Amino acid sequence: MDKHSNNDSVVSERTMEIITSSLFLVFALVVMVSSIKLGAEWGSDGPQSGYFPFYISLIMLVSSTVTLYQAFMNKKKKDETFVGRESFRQVMAVLIPASIFILLVQLIGIYVSSAVYIAVFMVWLGKYPLWKAAAVGVGVSAALFVLFEMWFQVPLPHGTLFNPLSIVGVQ
């Protein structure tokens, strides 16, 4: 039996199977069409560029279609919980800040974004004092800066909107 009641469910197993198999089906169709454009036949000198992707996507298409059919036919799974509210909340507590971090990396660069991201997580989820979180965030970002920018001489994103490190002369 489910450990979550149906009221606690965010989404059912059946719904997730339908969504997932539909997405794989669309992906398989896109790959198949692209493979046909590349050439999905066996030429005189061997397989054309789209030959193997075409047949792999054909297998995906068939598998997704079977899964989609089974999901629609299996009415029992509509009552089974795929994810409960508390589990969903925990995933979102990590996913939403990670998505914001990715956006900030593009806008203000990886070093400042990493310092903020680490500090926020340490304070919010780890319940560390702000001064410790800030010290660790800045310390880790400084270490990454020295490692990548100075030692490896590999520049990481500095930000397209604003480069906060330009204040200290980092372009």
Asked if 101 contacts 159 with a C-beta cutoff of 8 angstroms, the reply is no
88 has pLDDT over 70? yes
Treating both helix axes as pointing N-terminal to C-terminal, what angle do 110-124 and 85-108 enclose, rounded to 10 degrees?
150
pLDDT band of residue 165 (cuts 50, 70, 90) is low
Strand, coil or helix: what is 159? coil
Using one digit for the tens of pLDDT, what is the confidence trace for 118-136? 999 999 989 999 999 999 9
Alpha carbon of residue 3 to chain centroid: 27
| Cross-strand pairs, 81 | 12
Using one digit for the tens of pLDDT, what is the confidence trace for 22-46? 999 999 999 999 999 999 888 888 8
Output DSSP code: residue 4: S
In single-letter form, the type of residue at position 2 comes to: D
Q: Distance between CA 107 and CA 120 in Å, rounded?
A: 18
DSSP E strands, 5-94: 9-12, 42-43, 46-47, 81-84
Q: Distance between CA 95 and CA 99 in Å, rounded?
A: 6
Mean pLDDT taken over the chain? 89
